[in-house]
């Protein structure tokens, strides 16, 4: 297919999707049978798990989430809108970007469905009350259905206050938050109420177990695509350019643009439709949340090869998406990688990420050493791509690495994992330094170089599970909170909570 044909096809797909999205917007949010919620709503009673003696509220028909009609439905972001997708339309012009700062923009079909499912899967407890409030207030904000859930919100608030007392959640900041929340709810200030609830939820539930399992399921789905396959595994800090590099290597047409005043290189069109899920962003917030395998055809790209290779996009190290994503990835991505036939790790190092005194590079190597404890034995398999380098700095990379090595002190030299990777980087950049300009460069030159490295043939032996210390602390904290909740529930004979 020619480049022009590909662009045309992509544009047609884009237009079809826009029409589809418009139809979704025009459609009533919960009209019978077209929203996943509706089938659940008809068979699940949100209050069925509540023991009546524990519930301070009487549940009436009007408290249930109700259908809205097309007149009172309003556009809102769908699950896929949560990432800016690449289109020919300037990104700044898109509604999703205009609304990005509004809290409604963070409410998606998927997030509503998740809250509803979580609310239904839990016994009566403060965590459940907060989730219910999050759900009803989100509905209030997105359905443009004035006061449709006010009764439920008030009842859940009362329930939350009562649960806080009985569960002895007496921390003053939590109590103050609930007081503040009452005022917002009284004034029907839903935006502020939702912001505060999200904060409160993090306090009483630092690790969202429901989200954790959802993320693990998503990663597991992707893992099937790389089982027993040869893969190139892109690694690096968040924002280093992994998703951009994947688009580039897979032959997407890359263009330079600006989003909210920030420089950004985006794919204007792509060959493989799966690349639609590989989204990029100039924002400081982590973008990629899951492992995404993309098959890249090598015929006509690399001489002597008529097969294909899978290149995997991954979430960045030190991801800013929270402990749920970090843990799901630390466990599931590694589980997936261990099932591969062979792995070629490619480390992406960005100009800013390297750090003035190479502290960024050191941090990166420590994280890599956690994934691959015997990194020295596997170092041959590594390649390095340098990203976001200004034009006049591109030919200084090897020289600055030499300078770093000459100025290292004894303590730095004793950092073995750092030294292993650093020396390999020094050696490989002497022969050739891969500095990427996604707009001007040719993918075949990069693919050829990446495929020259010797792959890790026994990933099961080489990669080990790992999560960051920050996430470990959050898990410990959550375990402690659950222990306290269980003890308190035992005292109140609330066996549904203990279960």
Ligand X SMILES: Nc1nc2c(ncn2[C@@H]2O[C@H](COP(=O)(O)OP(=O)(O)OP(=O)(O)O)[C@@H](O)[C@H]2O)c(=O)[nH]1
Residues that bind Mg ion (CB under 5 A): 242-243, 287-288
152 binds ligand X (CB under 6 A): no
82 is a site residue for ligand X (CB under 6 A): no
Closest by CA position to 441, among listed 450, 453, 454: 450
Choosing from 65, 148, 239, 459, the residue that interacts with ligand X (CB under 6 A) is 239
Q: How far is the CB of 236 from ligand X (least distance, A)?
A: 6
- The interface partner of residue 239, options being ligand X, Mg ion, none and the CB cut-off 5 to 8 Å by kind, is ligand X
**Whole-angstrom distance, CA of residue 51 vs CA of residue 309:** 55
Residue 316 touching ligand X (CB under 6 A): yes
Q: Provide the mask over 405-444, with x wherever binding to ligand X is found by CB under 6 A and - wherever it is not.
A: -------------------------------x-x------
Count of residues in contact with ligand X, rule CB under 6 A: 22
If binding is defined by CB under 6 A, does position 280 make contact with ligand X?
yes
Q: Which is nearer to ligand X, 239 or 330 (CB)?
A: 239
Least distance to ligand X, CB of residue 455, Å: 22
Q: Which of 282, 293, 360, 459 touches ligand X by CB under 6 A?
A: 282
Nearest to 303 by CA among 434, 448, 450: 448
Tell me phi and psi for residue 28, to 5 degrees: -55, 140
Residue 231's nearest CA partner among 316, 334, 345 is 345
Q: Are 49 and 122 a contacting pair, CB within 8 Å?
A: yes
Q: Where are the alpha helices (DSSP H) in 168-317?
A: 172-186, 190-204, 209-224, 242-249
Q: Are 68 and 144 in contact (CB under 8 A)?
A: yes
Residue 488 corresponds to which tokens in the numbers above? 């308190």
**Separation between Cα atoms, residue 117 and residue 120, nearest integer Å:** 5
Residue 387 binds which entry of ligand X, Mg ion, none, with Cβ cut-offs from 5 to 8 Å by kind? Answer: ligand X
Residues 6+ apart with CB under 8 A from 374: 462
Q: Which two tokens stand for residue 83?
A: 């990432």
Please give the distance of CA 92 from its chain centroid, rounded to a whole number. 22
Residue of 243, 329, 365, 429 interacting with ligand X (CB under 6 A): 243
Q: Is 343 in the site for ligand X (CB under 6 A)?
A: no
* Stretch near ligand X under the rule CB under 6 A, chosen from 23-31, 138-146, 232-240, 449-457: 232-240
Instruction: Choose from ligand X, Mg ion, none: what does 238 bind? Cβ within 5-8 Å by kind.
Output: ligand X
Report the chain's terminal Cα–Cα distance, integer Å: 58
Is there binding between residue 315 and ligand X (CB under 6 A)?
A: yes
269, containing H or E segment: strand 262-269
Taking the complex as a whole, how short is the minimal distance between the CB of residue 306 and ligand X, in angstroms? Answer: 29
| Stretch of 85-93, 112-120, 163-171, 241-249 lying at the interface with ligand X (CB under 6 A) | 241-249
Query: Choosing among Mg ion, ligand X, none, which partner's interface includes residue 281 (Cβ < 5 to 8 Å by kind)?
Result: ligand X
281 binds ligand X (CB under 6 A): yes
Q: What is the DSSP letter of 398?
A: H
Nearest approach in angstroms of CB 242 to Mg ion is 5
Q: Which residues contact 376 (CB under 8 A, 6 or more apart)?
A: 416, 420
Q: Are 426 and 390 a contacting pair, CB within 8 Å?
A: no
Kindly state the smallest distance separating residue 497's Cβ from ligand X, in Å: 37
Q: Is-contact 174 202, C-beta < 8 A?
A: no
User: In the complex, what is the shortest distance from the CB of residue 354 to ligand X, in angstroms, rounded to a whole number?
Assistant: 13
- The neighbouring-strand residues paired with 253 are 269
* Dist. CA 126–CA 162, nearest whole Å: 9
Tell me the helices (H) and strands (E) count for the chain, helix number first: 21, 8
Question: Closer to ligand X at the Cβ: 132 or 281?
Answer: 281
The nearest distance, CB 271 to ligand X, in angstroms, is: 18
Residue nearest to Mg ion (CB): 288
Q: Which is nearer to ligand X, 138 or 244 (CB)?
A: 244
Residue 208 site contact among Mg ion, ligand X, none (CB < 5 to 8 Å, cut-off depends on kind) = none
Which of residues 81, 127, 156, 287 is near ligand X by CB under 6 A? 287
Q: Report the partner that residue 364 touches, choosing among Mg ion, ligand X, none (CB closer than 5 to 8 A by kind).
A: none
Burial code (b: 16+ CB inside 10 Å, e: under 16) for 169-194 equals beeeeeeebbeebbebbeeeebeebb
Binding of residue 238 to ligand X (CB under 6 A):
yes
Nearest distance, CB of residue 444 and Mg ion, angstroms: 23
Taking the least distance from each CB to Mg ion, the nearer of 126 and 288 is 288
Residue 264 touching ligand X (CB under 6 A): yes
User: Rounded to whole angstroms, how far apart are CA atoms 78 and 107?
Assistant: 8
Q: Which CB atom, from 128 or from 388, has the smaller least distance to ligand X? A: 388
Helix (H) or strand (E) holding 419: helix 416-431
Which residue bears the tokens 């016994």?
A: 123
Count of residues making up the chain: 499
383 binds ligand X (CB under 6 A): no
Q: Which is nearer to ligand X, 142 or 466 (CB)?
A: 466
Assess 83 for contact with ligand X (CB under 6 A): no
Q: Which residues bind ligand X (CB under 6 A)?
A: 236, 238-244, 264-265, 280-282, 286-288, 315-316, 387-388, 436, 438
């Amino acid at each position: 297919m020619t480049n022009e044909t590909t662009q045309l096809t992509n544009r047609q797909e884009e237009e079809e999707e826009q029409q589809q999205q418009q139809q979704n917007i025009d459609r009533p949010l919960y009209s019978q049978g077209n929203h996943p919620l509706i089938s659940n709503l008809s068979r699940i009673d949100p209050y069925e798990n509540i023991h009546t003696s524990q519930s301070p509220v009487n549940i009436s028909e009007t408290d249930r989430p109700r259908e809205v009609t097309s007149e009172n439905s309003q556009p809102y972001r769908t699950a896929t809108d949560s990432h800016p997708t690449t289109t020919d339309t300037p990104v700044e012009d898109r509604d999703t970007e205009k609304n990005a700062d509004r809290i409604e923009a963070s409410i998606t079909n998927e997030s509503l469905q998740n809250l509803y499912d979580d609310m239904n899967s839990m016994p009566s407890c403060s965590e459940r009350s907060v989730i219910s409030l999050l759900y009803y207030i989100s509905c209030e904000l997105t359905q443009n259905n004035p006061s449709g859930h006010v009764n439920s919100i008030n009842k859940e608030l009362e329930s939350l206050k009562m649960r806080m007392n009985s569960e002895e959640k007496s921390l003053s900041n939590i109590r103050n938050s609930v007081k503040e929340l009452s005022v917002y709810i009284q004034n029907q200030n839903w935006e502020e109420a939702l912001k505060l609830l999200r904060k409160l939820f993090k306090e009483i539930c630092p690790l969202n177990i429901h989200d954790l399992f959802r993320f693990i399921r998503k990663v597991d789905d992707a893992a099937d695509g790389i089982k027993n396959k040869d893969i190139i595994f892109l690694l690096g800090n968040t924002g280093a350019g992994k998703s951009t590099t994947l688009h580039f290597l897979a032959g997407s047409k890359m263009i330079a643009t600006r989003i909210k005043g920030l420089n950004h290189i985006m794919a204007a069109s792509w060959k493989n439709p799966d690349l639609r899920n590989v989204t990029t962003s100039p924002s400081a917030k982590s973008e990629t949340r899951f492992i995404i395998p993309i098959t890249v055809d090598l015929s006509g790209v690399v001489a002597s090869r008529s097969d294909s290779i899978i290149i995997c996009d991954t979430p960045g190290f030190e991801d800013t998406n929270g402990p749920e994503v970090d843990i799901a990835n630390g466990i599931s991505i590694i589980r997936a990688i261990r099932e591969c036939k062979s792995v070629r790790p490619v480390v992406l190092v960005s100009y800013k990420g390297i750090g003035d005194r190479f502290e960024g590079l050191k941090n990166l190597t420590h994280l890599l050493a956690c994934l691959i404890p015997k990194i020295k034995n596997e170092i041959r398999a590594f390649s390095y791509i340098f990203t976001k380098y200004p034009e006049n700095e591109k030919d200084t990379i090897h020289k600055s690495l030499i300078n770093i090595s000459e100025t290292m002190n004894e303590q730095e030299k004793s950092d073995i994992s750092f030294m292993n990777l650093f020396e390999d980087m020094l050696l490989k950049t002497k022969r050739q330094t891969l500095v990427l300009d996604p707009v001007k460069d040719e993918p075949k030159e990069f693919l050829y170089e990446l495929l020259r490295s010797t792959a890790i043939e026994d990933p099961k032996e080489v990669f080990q599970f790992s999560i960051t210390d920050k996430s470990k602390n959050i898990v410990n904290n959550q375990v402690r909170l659950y222990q306290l909740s269980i003890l308190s529930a035992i005292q109140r004979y609330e066996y549904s909570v203990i279960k």
